[in-house]
Amino acid sequence: SQTIHQWPATLVQPVGSPLSLECTVEGTSNPNLYWYRQAAGRGLQLLFYSVGIGQISSEVPQNLSASRPQDRQFILSSKKLLLSDSGFYLCAWSWGQGTDTQYFGPGTRLTVL
């Protein structure tokens, strides 16, 4: 069976510090990978998605970036965090053309102070 992991589970960072969130998927190969953000009391915002190693599509211009160094690893980064980067970050994966179910990780709660 497939599992998806995210770490850390929670993170408190000062404004201006760097960020690295990691997501890994087990039990499947060549998945589509996604990063979403949920700000407090708001819905899901798709940040990035990837259909293969080194292939990253950005949905929203911002100070975040994503990388996919391995088939089942997806990393979300920032060089300098802003207060507005606070939120709940969710990683997800899917198969094929992306039209079917996305499977979500447990999330990372990021607080920028």
Partner 1 sequence: AQSVTQLDSQVPVFEEAPVELRCNYSSSVSVYLFWYVQYPNQGLQLLLKYLSGSTLVESINGFEAEFNKSQTSFHLRKPSVHISDTAEYFCAVSVRNTGFQKLVFGTGTRLLVSP
Residues that bind partner 1 (CB under 8 A): 32, 42-44, 46, 49, 51, 88, 90, 92, 94, 97-107, 109
Contact (Cβ atoms closer than 8 angstroms) between residue 16 and residue 80: yes
Cβ proximity to partner 1: between 36 and 64 the closer is 36
Cβ proximity to partner 1: between 42 and 79 the closer is 42
Q: Measured between alpha carbons, how far is residue 65 from residues 41, 78, 95, 99 in Å?
A: 24, 6, 23, 24
Cβ proximity to partner 1: between 80 and 112 the closer is 112
> What is the sign, positive or negative, of the torsion defined by CA atoms of 18, 9, 39, 31?
positive
Provide, rounded to whole angstroms, the least separation between the CB of residue 79 and partner 1: 26
Provide, rounded to whole angstroms, the least separation between the CB of residue 16 and partner 1: 26
Distance separating alpha carbons of residues 81 and 99, to the nearest angstrom: 33
Provide, rounded to whole angstroms, the least separation between the CB of residue 100 and partner 1: 7
